[in-house]
């Protein structure tokens, strides 16, 4: 499933689709909604994405996935201590989701849970994106001093904790799941590195 995002119109369509899926998932996002949000005629949508909604969704997931992994160093690099960086990143996510009115979830996580058993091609795209997060996150945590196996284990735990905490925070309308998940991940980091924070 290839997709084209090389023109301003195609980019607007992909961006609009990612935002709609982030808020309401894949199933509830319709082609007419996408064209309205992208301010693009329906003919342009099918010109750039002849396979329709699924092809657009794949492009949106890949684009969003690439953007979201860039948040890892952005949120953590300001902290010299990795334990504090983990807590700080989860705290920033908690603040962001609250400020957004409980809608600031990554479209990859939103769609992955929704379509895992019903849309095999999109499930493969979400798996590709998550594999990329694991690979790039492992590299990042190795640069922060973790051994390769520990870096991989840690990024898998962080992605799982973050995505799960997003669901709980949205449902409960509370930052507590994200804050607690951040502290739990920092404690897990201490276990992996053999250190203990006071």
Q: Where are the domains of the chain?
A: 58-193
Q: Which CATH class is domain 58-193?
A: mainly alpha
Range 50-63 burial, b when 16+ CB lie within 10 A, else e: eeebbbbbbbbbbb
Give the pLDDT confidence score for residue 198 in this predicted structure.
53
Give the pLDDT confidence score for residue 40 in this predicted structure.
94
d(CA 196, CA 189): 9
Give the pLDDT confidence score for residue 75 in this predicted structure.
95
d(CA 13, CA 39): 8
Contacts of 19 (CB under 8 A, 6+ apart): 37, 107
d(CA 57, CA 17): 7
Q: Residue 47, Cβ neighbours under 10 Å: how many?
A: 14
d(CA 174, CA 176): 5
Which secondary-structure segment (H or E) carries 27? none
Give the pLDDT confidence score for residue 197 in this predicted structure.
57
Is-contact 25 31, C-beta < 8 A?
no
User: What's the N-to-C CA distance of the chain in angstroms?
Assistant: 50
Is-contact 182 86, C-beta < 8 A?
yes
| Separation of CA 58 from chain center | 14
d(CA 72, CA 140): 8
d(CA 188, CA 150): 10
pLDDT tens for the chain, 198 residues: list them.
545 455 799 999 999 999 999 999 999 999 999 999 999 999 999 999 999 999 999 999 999 999 999 999 999 999 999 999 999 999 999 999 999 999 878 899 999 999 989 999 999 999 999 999 999 999 999 999 999 999 999 999 999 999 999 999 999 999 999 999 999 999 999 999 987 655
Structure tokens, 183:
């502290």
Distance set, CA 29 to CA 45, 107, 148 (Å): 14, 12, 39
Distance set, CA 27 to CA 23, 52, 170 (Å): 11, 14, 19
């Amino acid at each position: 499933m290839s997709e084209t995002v090389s023109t301003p119109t195609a980019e607007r369509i992909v961006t609009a689709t990612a935002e709609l899926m982030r808020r309401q998932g894949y199933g509830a996002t319709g082609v007419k909604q996408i064209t309205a949000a992208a301010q693009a005629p329906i003919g342009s949508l099918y010109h750039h994405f002849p396979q329709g909604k699924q092809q657009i969704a794949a492009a949106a997931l890949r684009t969003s996935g690439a953007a979201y992994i860039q948040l890892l160093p952005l949120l953590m690099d300001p902290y010299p201590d990795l334990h504090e960086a983990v807590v700080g990143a989860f705290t920033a996510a908690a603040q962001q989701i609250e400020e957004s009115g409980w809608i600031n979830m990554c479209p990859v996580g939103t769609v992955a849970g929704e379509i895992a058993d019903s849309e095999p091609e999109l499930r493969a795209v979400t798996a590709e994106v998550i594999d990329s997060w694991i690979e790039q996150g492992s590299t990042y945590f190795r640069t922060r001093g973790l051994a390769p196996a520990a870096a991989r284990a840690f990024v898998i735990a962080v992605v799982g904790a973050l995505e799960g905490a997003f669901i709980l925070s949205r449902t409960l309308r509370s930052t507590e799941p994200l804050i607690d998940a951040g502290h739990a991940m920092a404690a897990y980091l201490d276990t992996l590195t053999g250190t203990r924070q006071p």
